[in-house]
Structure 1
Amino acid sequence: MKLKKLIGLMVVAGFALPGAAMATNGYFSSGYGMKANGMGGAATAMADDAFGGANNPASMVFAGDQLNLGVSLFSPKRSASRTGTAAGGMLNGDESSDSNYFPIPEFGYNKMLNTNMSLGVTVYGNGGMNTDYAPLPNGANFMGGQGRLGVDLMQLIVAPTVAFKIAPNHSIGISPLIGYQRFKAEGLQGFGVDTNGNTPGGNNLGYDDSFGYGLRVGYMGKITPTITIGAAYATKMNMQKFDKYKGLFAEQGAFDMPENYNLGIAFQATPELTLALDYQRINYSGVKSIANSSNPITAPLGSSGGPGFGWQDVDVWKLGAAYQYNKQWTLRAGYNHGDNPIQARDVTFNILAPGVVKDHATLGVTYMTNSGDELTVSYMHAFENTVTGNTNSAFGPGGQDTIKMYQNSIGVAYAWKM
């Protein structure tokens, strides 16, 4: 009964968490859990914490009893510029996005029901995107609207998880995914009026939200005393449509969370050193509002074939190392490389969502207290990347648009071992 009450409180608290604005591997986070963040996100074959609901549900039965609570301060630096458009260059300019600091909380809980079965919950920000550009000197913005220009997308997932061993060194796990997302756009009045008489940009209608569901399943196996493998698959999450923005997003406001899967291997190279490698695939192409091309525009905004952001599927490689310096201290480092989902042809629409970074370097450290609890700190730097392409003809024929971004994130988490 105490366990049921604790999980219930965590689920409620999860939906009350503040918004997260991530844009690393596309708009997914580069890693889930502070230890994974320190290792470039490599976690599919690791069982160090209670974040299996985000990484690999099967890992939880090897994680033991623990409660994890942490927060990261995420700082994305985004900018956009336009040159060479006709009509006197009314929409030319160079702007950096404001709103550059975002707290991103996380927590997980795991309870061993017996030696072969665990029950837990992971609550995490799946991803998101935020831009907030000041208007150009003439009062217009890059999208032909008036005033400030930007979007704010936040996605949160609550993942109750059950895992059990199918053999002493092999396990499977399942996490029903309960999703919540929130979206706001401003400054899109220049998009005009759709076929239903609505202004697609909403004339700054404010936030709209939606709920949805999906499923993540996973496997973990200790193949030898030094080699562990893992695999996990998450379905596309079916989300309610954004009613306020049905004239903006393809399929009348649909914005599902894309399916993704990951494979991982961990190698205990020495008693002190563990190496981990993950491969992740994110299938943005399965969500029309994300994947439909915006250039050329061949269908009305909000229709099934309406323009999206033109994002491609991405492959992500995550490499990490953990070195146990002594009983109290463990040091971590990692590197994360993912494809850029944005093509040059779609650069104009992606002024709103410049998720172009590809390479991330990470560091982390864990200190074990005398009681066995753990304090973990991690740092991530995403190197600047730039995409340039022809301005969408709807906003200024003859021009060129450039978007770029780099990021920093630092976080701290505490794990109570029970």
Structure 2
Amino acid sequence: MGIQRAASLVPFRSIHRSRTALCIALLVAATGVQATDGYFSHGYGMKAKGRGGASIAMTGDAFGGANNPATMAFAGDQIALGLDAFSPRREATRSGLGPGLDGTSKSGSNWFPVPEFAWNRMLTEELALGVTLYGNGGMNTDYPGSGFNCGQGESNMLCGMGSLGVDLTQLIVAPTVAYRITPSQSIGVSPLLVYQQFEATGLHAFAGTPGLSAAPDKVTNNGHDSSTGYGLRIGYYAALGDAFSLGFSYASKIRMSRFSDYAGLFADRGRFDLPENYGLGLAWHAASDVTMAMDYVRIGYGSVSSIANSSMAQAQLGSANGPGFGWKDVDVWKLGLEWASSPEWTWRIGYNHSDNPVGGSDVTFNILAPGVVTDHLSLGFTRTLASGGQLTMAYTHAFKNTVRGTSILPAFMGMMPAGTEEISMYQDSIGIQYQW
């Protein structure tokens, strides 16, 4: 009775800190961008990022709303606020089409702040209530509006006027309830409340070609548009004795409201849903100070028409079966090692491998969103302070990957197919998090 009463009385300082941290995270969340496993982050929470994203069978933080809701029942009382400095480097090259159309273009806007926030409270010894705030993105490019000539004067790489690029940001708020069904097992659920923004610029060639789009005035340069949706993540966690733990997490496909200002660009009149994803995790506590964790995650990009439809689909842009980016489902493997060298210091290293969702036949459209990296190496540490707070840092490098294919630009210009295009990307990110 005493434990339950104490747990139900949230101190004023705890409330004040959580409100302050949440407000800070919300203020900067709209600038977030990530693009590692497709356009999902390789990990959520700095501790997970230091392990290459492995988290489904780990209970050390309150980011269960993004990883595995069931782990929150073992996370204890905590608040965490983090910020990642993310740097994706994108480049596209075309050859074989002749002067004016051939060349190389590099995307600007190379640094992005990515915030994250988590809060967890044990209402009883078995029941936890929390919230995780995190972001997705990555379809964020900004190519110069010059360097090419498609027959009507200076243009960008896709024959439009001015800067070429897209800007996609997704903010997910995941309130979470987790319950210990036995002393070593728990279940959890997180409603996923999603807000996203999108903008496209420099796609005038696709808007100006007669019959190419179902809504030519809804293709490009219409400013930022927004949409909302909601879904659900569920999870299970079990400690199998002292040596092993496992977890499972599933998130439903989220049907979003349409980007009405871009109804002539995305399939199904501007709809851009979030894909279904699920994962299985296993952790081996090899010693009292050493843990190895491994996750397998499947992301269903292939079920979202605007992402998955072929860029050569024989339909108008914006129609129900209109062209998309040609992305396929991806399998992701995450492997992490954690070593507590002392009560004050914990060290992490991780490796993350993801399938490349982009094929050579869809390179042209993916100049806008070259999410093609596949291999990531992570390092991180946590310093436990005398106050009991924890300072965590993580660094990740995503190695450069290049995809080549035949350019489909001639098909849109009424020319014979010819020429080759390639897109490439590499990334770096470094982040810091404080946990009360």
What is the TM-score normalised by the length of structure 1?
A: 0.95
Q: Which amino acid aligns with 1:276?
A: A
Does the C-alpha gap of structure 1 residues 31 and 59 become closer, same or farther in structure 2, counting only changes over 3 Å? Answer: same
SS of residue matched to 1:114:
coil
| Residues paired across the two proteins, number | 412
Please tell me whether residue 198 in structure 1 is matched to residue 249 in structure 2.
no
Aligned pairs for 1:254-403 within 5 A: 254-295=271-312, 297-392=313-408, 393-394=411-412, 397-403=417-423
Please tell me whether residue 77 in structure 1 is matched to residue 89 in structure 2.
yes
SS of residue matched to 1:44:
coil
SS of residue matched to 2:261:
helix
Distance in 2 between the 1:252 and 1:15 partners?
29
SS of residue matched to 1:251:
helix
Distance in 2 between the 1:367 and 1:313 partners?
37
Does the C-alpha gap of structure 1 residues 13 and 216 become closer, same or farther in structure 2, counting only changes over 3 Å? Answer: farther
Distance in 2 between the 1:331 and 1:24 partners?
22
The Cα of 1:14 is off from its aligned counterpart by 5.0
Does the 8 A contact of 1:189 with 1:199 survive in 2?
A: no
SS of residue matched to 2:321:
coil
Q: Which amino acid aligns with 1:105?
A: P
Does the C-alpha gap of structure 1 residues 413 and 15 become closer, same or farther in structure 2, counting only changes over 3 Å? Answer: closer
State the match for 2:38 in structure 1.
26
Structure 1, gaps ≥5 residues long = none
Does the 8 A contact of 1:189 with 1:200 survive in 2?
A: no
The Cα of 1:22 is off from its aligned counterpart by 1.2
Distance in 2 between the 1:9 and 1:263 partners?
34
* % identical aligned pairs: 53
Does the 8 A contact of 2:219 with 2:263 survive in 1?
A: no
The Cα of 1:232 is off from its aligned counterpart by 0.3
SS of residue matched to 2:33:
coil
Q: Which amino acid aligns with 2:418?
A: G
Please tell me whether residue 96 in structure 1 is matched to residue 112 in structure 2.
no
The Cα of 1:91 is off from its aligned counterpart by 2.0
Does the C-alpha gap of structure 1 residues 300 and 285 become closer, same or farther in structure 2, counting only changes over 3 Å? Answer: same
SS of residue matched to 2:123:
strand
What is the TM-score normalised by the length of structure 2?
A: 0.91
State the match for 1:221 in structure 2.
238
Picking from 141, 148, 156, the partner of 1:141 is 156
- Answer with 12-21 or 118-127: which moved more: 12-21
State the match for 2:202 in structure 1.
187
Q: Which amino acid aligns with 2:184?
A: N
SS of residue matched to 2:287:
coil
Q: Which amino acid aligns with 2:243?
A: T
Deviations 1:130-155 (A, max 9, x none): 11001232421222211211001011
The Cα of 1:199 is off from its aligned counterpart by 3.1
Q: Which amino acid aligns with 1:180?
A: Y
Picking from 85, 109, 116, the partner of 2:119 is 109
Does the C-alpha gap of structure 1 residues 259 and 8 become closer, same or farther in structure 2, counting only changes over 3 Å? Answer: farther
Distance in 2 between the 1:11 and 1:44 partners?
24
State the match for 1:405 in structure 2.
425
The Cα of 1:270 is off from its aligned counterpart by 1.0
Picking from 176, 181, 200, the partner of 2:191 is 176
Distance in 2 between the 1:39 and 1:175 partners?
23
Distance in 2 between the 1:27 and 1:91 partners?
29
Does the 8 A contact of 1:128 with 1:154 survive in 2?
A: yes
Does the 8 A contact of 1:11 with 1:158 survive in 2?
A: no
Please tell me whether residue 53 in structure 1 is matched to residue 71 in structure 2.
no
The Cα of 1:45 is off from its aligned counterpart by 0.3
Does the C-alpha gap of structure 1 residues 344 and 239 become closer, same or farther in structure 2, counting only changes over 3 Å? Answer: same
Structure 2, gaps ≥5 residues long = 1-8
Please tell me whether residue 63 in structure 1 is matched to residue 81 in structure 2.
no
State the match for 2:139 in structure 1.
129
Does the 8 A contact of 2:372 with 2:424 survive in 1?
A: yes
